[in-house]
Amino acid sequence: MTLAIDGGTPVRTAGWPAWPPPATAEQRRLLLEVLDGGEWGATSGTKVGAFARAFAASMGARHGVCVVNGTVGLFLALRALGVGRDDEVIVPAYTFVASATAVVLAGARPVLADVTPDTLHLDPSAVERVIGPRTRAVMPVHLAGAPADTEALGDLCRAHGLASVEDAAQAHGASRHGRPAGTLGDAACFSFQSSKAMTAGEGGIIVTDDDRVHERAWSLHNVGRRLSGGWYEHPELGWNLRMTEFQAAVLLPQLGLLDGQIAARERAVAFLAGELEAFDGLDLLPAPEGTTRSTHHLGLLRYDSAAFGGRTKAEFIAAMAAEGVPLDAGYRSLSREAALLPYTEPVPCPVAEAAEDAVVWLRQHLLMADDEALCDIVTAAAKVRRAFRGP
């Protein structure tokens, strides 16, 4: 059977569910309410504050501070916890570059630690090896929507007097041992960028149970004002990093949709796991042990090139795309990211580097598809495997 990339007929010609999903009537109503009301900024409107309270409560946290994006949220959370010049923050090597650049933005130095081979989450033993006298914080990343091993990492943080800032950009609604992501460290940051489970195009939020961290993060994002202070009272240096009322209007109705969307992705991942159980060459990576709810922001697949005739991951992705199944190459290991070299010490991260070479992603909009579409993923992979292996 000829591959579509070589002129054959694609396995799938139908599209995939859109992300973000189509706008709801409630989103349209709230957007027009903001537009017509004329109170477009967070300092005069009510929707940003309402969303911050509702989101924090839904994640089990006491406080929320809405900001312009998730990267800024990480930066502000670190600063609110006292991280600054000459400090070090440990981040996983397999994550989006913003986890590290937020540390640089805070004036500190990112220190890379490798990830676990089975889940690609931050490896506590690798963290322990790189803790030094300047380490001030650890940043567990809840990769693909499943929380990291925050118990082991929390033990390390307590033993060494370190702060813990969760990068929960992909983990809206996730939980570990029954505790929601966002309440597993000193502070957590969620993203509302276009690809995320809840989105306003851009945006982010810091959540915390700590009154002091909340007050400081609120001040830093609001040009140094105090919660109970005057408009032109700026007791510390801050920035204007506030969310708009328009973004909050788009986000508020999504809180009511999140559980249903997570359930749809949970069903899709369970279905795919069954279809791939006996499939040679593609393995669905598990969530870390202890995960009680994953948002399945991504489906992580380990590609075994030997089972596909020695063909590279890039060749596999190209062939699958031609068959109508768009896969993503995923992250580069931060240990190979040239832009970070001036800010980090070279640290070998063999697990993250192997993942860069072998792991492919199913983005969440594919996991919102029906069973027929999910079967097309496996059918296309089998077709590509047969062609790559040759006669």
For the whole model, what pTM was predicted? Answer: 0.96
Whether the pLDDT of residue 390 is over 90: the answer is no
What is the per-residue pLDDT across 83-92, written as a single tens digit (0 to 9) for each? 999 999 999 9
What is the per-residue pLDDT across 326-371, written as a single tens digit (0 to 9) for each? 999 999 999 999 999 999 988 899 999 999 999 999 999 999 999 9
Based on the domain organization, do 282 and 232 belong to the same domain? Answer: no
Whether the pLDDT of residue 172 is over 80: the answer is yes
CA distance 196 to 19: 9
User: Per the structure, how many domains does the chain have?
Assistant: 2
pLDDT of residue 346: 85
Q: Does 36 fall in a domain? A: yes
pLDDT of residue 376: 98
State what percent of residues in the chain have pLDDT above 90.
96
State what percent of residues in the chain have pLDDT above 70.
100
Whether the pLDDT of residue 28 is over 90: the answer is yes
CATH of residue 371? 3.90.1150.10
Average pLDDT over residues 314-321: 98
pLDDT of residue 228: 86
CA distance 298 to 95: 13
Average pLDDT over residues 174-185: 97
Calculate Rg over the CA atoms of the chain: 22
What are the E-state strand segments in the chain? 63-67, 88-92, 109-113, 135-138, 163-167, 175-176, 179-180, 187-191, 204-208, 282-284, 291-293, 298-303, 359-363
pLDDT of residue 364: 96
pLDDT of residue 133: 97
Whether the pLDDT of residue 391 is over 80: the answer is no
Q: Does 80 fall in a domain? A: yes
Q: Does 11 fall in a domain? A: no
Taking the CA atoms of residue 5, residue 10, residue 15 and residue 19 in that order, the dihedral angle to the nearest 10 degrees is -40
Whether the pLDDT of residue 310 is over 90: the answer is yes
CA 164 to chain centre: 16
What is the per-residue pLDDT across 278-294, written as a single tens digit (0 to 9) for each? 999 999 999 999 999 99
Average pLDDT over residues 97-103: 98
pLDDT of residue 1: 82
Residue 136 binned pLDDT confidence (cut-offs 50, 70, 90): very high
pLDDT of residue 287: 95
Q: What is the mean pLDDT of the chain?
A: 97
**Residue listed under structure tokens 């490798």:** 114
Residue 229 binned pLDDT confidence (cut-offs 50, 70, 90): confident
CA distance 82 to 361: 36
- Select from 131, 136, 132, 130 the least CA-distant residue to 85: 136
Residue 25 binned pLDDT confidence (cut-offs 50, 70, 90): very high
Task: Please list, in sequence order, all residues whose beta carbon lies within 8 angstroms of the beta carbon of residue 267, skipping any fewer than 6 positions away.
Answer: none
Based on the domain organization, do 235 and 285 belong to the same domain? Answer: no
Number of C-alpha atoms within 13 angstroms, CB side, residue 160?
Answer: 23
Based on the domain organization, do 210 and 351 belong to the same domain? Answer: no
Least confident of 160-164, 178-182, 185-189, 227-231: 227-231
What length does the chain have?
A: 391
Q: Is 269 helix (H, G, I), strand (E, B) or coil?
A: helix
Rounded to 5°, angle at Cα 57 from 56 and 61: 60
Structure tokens that stand for 154 in this block: 């929390």
pLDDT of residue 86: 92
CATH of residue 146? 3.40.640.10
Active site residue 196: yes
CA distance 65 to 235: 19
Q: Does 7 fall in a domain? A: no
CA distance 187 to 168: 10
pLDDT of residue 210: 97
Based on the domain organization, do 179 and 78 belong to the same domain? Answer: yes
Average pLDDT over residues 126-143: 98
Q: Does 141 fall in a domain? A: yes
Query: Is residue 93 within 8 Å of residue 113, measured between CB atoms?
Result: yes
Based on the domain organization, do 74 and 153 belong to the same domain? Answer: yes
pLDDT of residue 80: 98
pLDDT of residue 174: 98
Based on the domain organization, do 247 and 271 belong to the same domain? Answer: no
Whether the pLDDT of residue 185 is over 90: the answer is yes
CA distance 78 to 162: 11
CA distance 202 to 192: 5
Q: Which of 47, 196, 313, 383 is catalytic?
A: 196
Domain extent at residue 130: 25-256
Task: Please list, in sequence order, all residues whose beta carbon lies within 8 angstroms of the beta carbon of residue 91, skipping any fewer than 6 positions away.
Answer: 99, 100, 103, 110, 111, 112, 113, 122, 139, 141, 167, 334
